[in-house]
Each structure stands twice: as C-alpha cells, then as structure tokens.
Structure 1
Amino acid sequence: MNRNWNDRAEKDMLFTILSVKKIGTISAAEWAAIGSHMRSIGYGFTNEGCR
C-alpha cells in the first residue's frame, strides 16, 4: 500500500474529488468516499489524510 504523497497521488486525488463532488464544499461523507476510493487504488491515506 502506497503511503507516499507525490505528483501521481495528487492527480489521483483530484480526479477522485471531481468524480465525487461536482460543486460546493465537500461533506464528511464525501471525504469518506474519497478516502475509500484512494485506498481502493492502492494508497494508504486515511480520510483525514485526504483532507
């Protein structure tokens, strides 16, 4: 599980956020979905780490 923050992680996070939230502030439930997706593609970030 990759726990390193790098350019690829930044890009993956951006695309994950865009796929979850179209407009507005990201809710706690949406951050949980973002964290879950990031872990499903191999990152070891917590939901709070994604924030």
Structure 2
Amino acid sequence: MSKPALSKSVREATGCTVAQADAAVEAMLSTIVDGVKTDGSFRLIGFGTFAKA
C-alpha cells in the first residue's frame, strides 16, 4: 500500500482532512523508522514488528 492510499484510508475511516490524515500517516511512519534506527526494531503489539534487514 502506498502512503497516499494509506492516507485516503485514514480519511475515510475518520472523516479528517487530507492534511490531517497525511500528518497522521507521516507521524506514524516516522515513529516506526525512528524506533528501528534507535533500537533495531519497532514492535506494535497486536500488529507486528518492524526490524532492520
């Protein structure tokens, strides 16, 4: 799924604006990337784990 598609899904689920959905998606992805950079992995309980390859 692309960022724009994810943002659209967030908008449809929440009724927020394009800017709000884009900001939410970017914040979430940045948090995951930062966690992987800092700790080598990022675990989202009930969803999955992101890790360096």
Fold conserved between structures, TM > 0.5? no
Structure showing the higher strand proportion among its residues: 2
TM-score by length of 2: 0.33
